[in-house]
Chain A
Amino acid sequence: MRLKRYADILIFALLLIAYPLIITDNYGLNVGIFALENIITVTGLNLLMGYAGQISLGHAGFVGLGAYISAILTATYHWNCWLAMITAFVLVGIVAFFVALPTLKLRGHYLAMATLGLGMILYIFFSQLVDITGGPSGFVGIPYMRFGSLTFSSYSTIYVVTAMITFVIIWLSKNLASFKAGRIFRAIHQDEEAVVALGVNTYHYKVLVFVVSAVFASIAGSLYAHTVIFISPASFGFKRSIQLVTMVMVGGMGNIWGGVTGAIFLTYLPEFLRIFEDYDIIVYGSLLILVIIFMPGGIAGAVEDIYGKFKNTGGREDR
């Protein structure tokens, strides 16, 4: 039973290992690293949105906060990058906690509004606190990640580090999704009052999942900062938040692998669409619309439906 439960995550590990063996050019590795960073954020967002049914429109803000805290602590204060990364996600977790505390007490879409506002405030901080963040023109001189005497400056080494962290994040998310917490998240999504009636403090669970999703975003942000070694506010604005939400929806809400698929698909898609040059955005938009119309359960939902038809069961049973 345990082995079966972890079959999918083992396949994922194999794919993570296979990718850099097949794709060895720097460009391919670079896009791969971005895909992994997106997977981390999107998986957290999927736990929040797809599982627990709470909407965040400001997750790019958490990615940015993680990135900037890591950048400032390592570049300006010469901290160890891992210590900086941990400090960043602890601080981001605390910020998320205090945002969640009042907003999740209320039913309704207060969280969406609060996170929208928070995302904007953070964006303003990133661009206006010029002395600390470098302002609109960005933060330069972020060091690469380092471990002992190893410096992860090549794409292949950054890929390895990012892949390992991604694997851990996916493993944790799978754990959350598979047991008690995951069931309670999904139940809250469907009927919060009915969950309360069973004796669950749903407020705790909602705050928890929000903090977890923010922490994941922060980790992705820290990794991003040490990958590109130059960050600017433009990467962490409202548009980015919407992109992250789109990745969850296109991939499949409430399915870990759905979110992963969505993150991969929408990271690579713009790269492929470059052949359309000026029209890429039109093709991109049209594809999104088609997916949303024809695959209401996202890519993962569609795959499960097809699989279900083959097996002659209803499909999408596990959701």
Chain B
Amino acid sequence: MGNSKILGAERIVKHFGGVKALDDVSLSISQEEVLGLIGPNGAGKTTLFNIISGFIKPDGGKVIFKGVDITSHPPHKIARMGMSRTFQNLRVFSEMSVIENIMVGADVLTSAGFFSNLFAFPSIWKSERESIEKAEYFLEEVGLQDFRNTPAGDLPFGKMRLVELARALVTEPELLLLDEIASGLNTSETLDLMELLFKVKEKHNLTILVVEHDMDFLMNLAERVVVLNFGRVIAEGSPDEIKKDPQVIAAYLGE
């Protein structure tokens, strides 16, 4: 479909002591759009992600997700509404197997409660089966079936990124926030990841907000790009427009 707005960040302000990490930042994403967010180190990209996903609260402005003001919602509640994120620094559960990592994400949507878990009532067995099935589906989707029972911490770096992605996807998000998911990957891994993202986006009708330093990756993936610099939006447009924008060039060259 497209066009209808799924997320809006409105006039977000965030200070860290004397540092103005975000200064009146607004952006909006339409349903099933892929929006790229770029900017030099320290521009405020991760801070904006943290505010959108509810992990930190802004000093000013608000975040609207699917028509609801979520600015003061706790992060787990926002996730439940259909927003999933990955982290810039890898955060797999390293002592748990790959399938268990993904199952934690699947567990969120199963219905069995604490007492059926405690007493092993039939409903927990049912939930368990659902979690396994769903986790296995996404295990295959990201191509990790050969590593099913490997502790996630023993995987090569690129594969850990895929665990994080599968874990985010299994929660059935509508909006996916990816914070430098391709960083640290080699060229072929980056290409594979891009292909994978295209595939899952189509399959699950995802809207994606992606932060990336790798320009080729981002420009290929994103339909529209927002550029942050020192906590302010300095440009916005299609990848081609952004590449030619003098302010953007200056921001990157002037580093």
Is B117 touching A198 in the complex (CB atoms < 8 A)?
no
Inter-chain CB contacts under 8 Å: number: 102
* C-alpha spacing A198/B92, complex, angstroms: 12
A24 within 8 A of B: no
A194 neighbours in B (Cβ, 8 Å): 87, 91-93
B92 neighbours in A (Cβ, 8 Å): 191, 194
A187 neighbours in B (Cβ, 8 Å): 93, 96, 101, 104
* Of A13-21, A116-124, A176-184, A257-265, the one touching chain B: A176-184
* C-alpha spacing A2/B129, complex, angstroms: 12
Would you give the 0/1 interface string for A303-319, flagging 1 where the beta carbon is closer than 8 Å to chain B? 00000000000100101
A186 within 8 A of B: yes
A180 neighbours in B (Cβ, 8 Å): 107, 110, 112, 117, 124, 127-128, 131
Is A317 touching B151 in the complex (CB atoms < 8 A)?
yes
* Of B18-26, B64-72, B74-82, the one touching chain A: B74-82
- Interface residues contributed by chain A, number (CB under 8 Å): 27
* C-alpha spacing A197/B77, complex, angstroms: 9
Is A200 touching B75 in the complex (CB atoms < 8 A)?
no
Question: With A180-B124, A183-B100, A184-B107 in contact, is A193–B95 under 8 Å at CB?
Answer: no
A2 neighbours in B (Cβ, 8 Å): 125
Question: With A314-B151, A319-B95 in contact, is A199–B79 under 8 Å at CB?
Answer: yes
Would you give the 0/1 interface string for B84-105, flagging 1 where the beta carbon is closer than 8 Å to chain A? 1101000111111100110111
Taking beta carbons and an 8 Å cutoff, which residues of A are in contact with B?
2, 172, 175-176, 179-181, 183-184, 186-187, 190-191, 193-202, 208, 314, 317, 319
Other CB < 8 Å A-B pairs besides A2-B125, A196-B79, A200-B76, 17 of them? A180-B112, A180-B124, A181-B117, A186-B100, A190-B94, A191-B92, A196-B75, A197-B168, A198-B76, A198-B79, A198-B105, A201-B77, A202-B76, A208-B114, A314-B151, A317-B149, A319-B96
For the complex of A and B, the 6 pairs showing the least CB-CB separation, nearest first, are: A199-B79, A199-B80, A194-B91, A180-B107, A175-B120, A190-B93
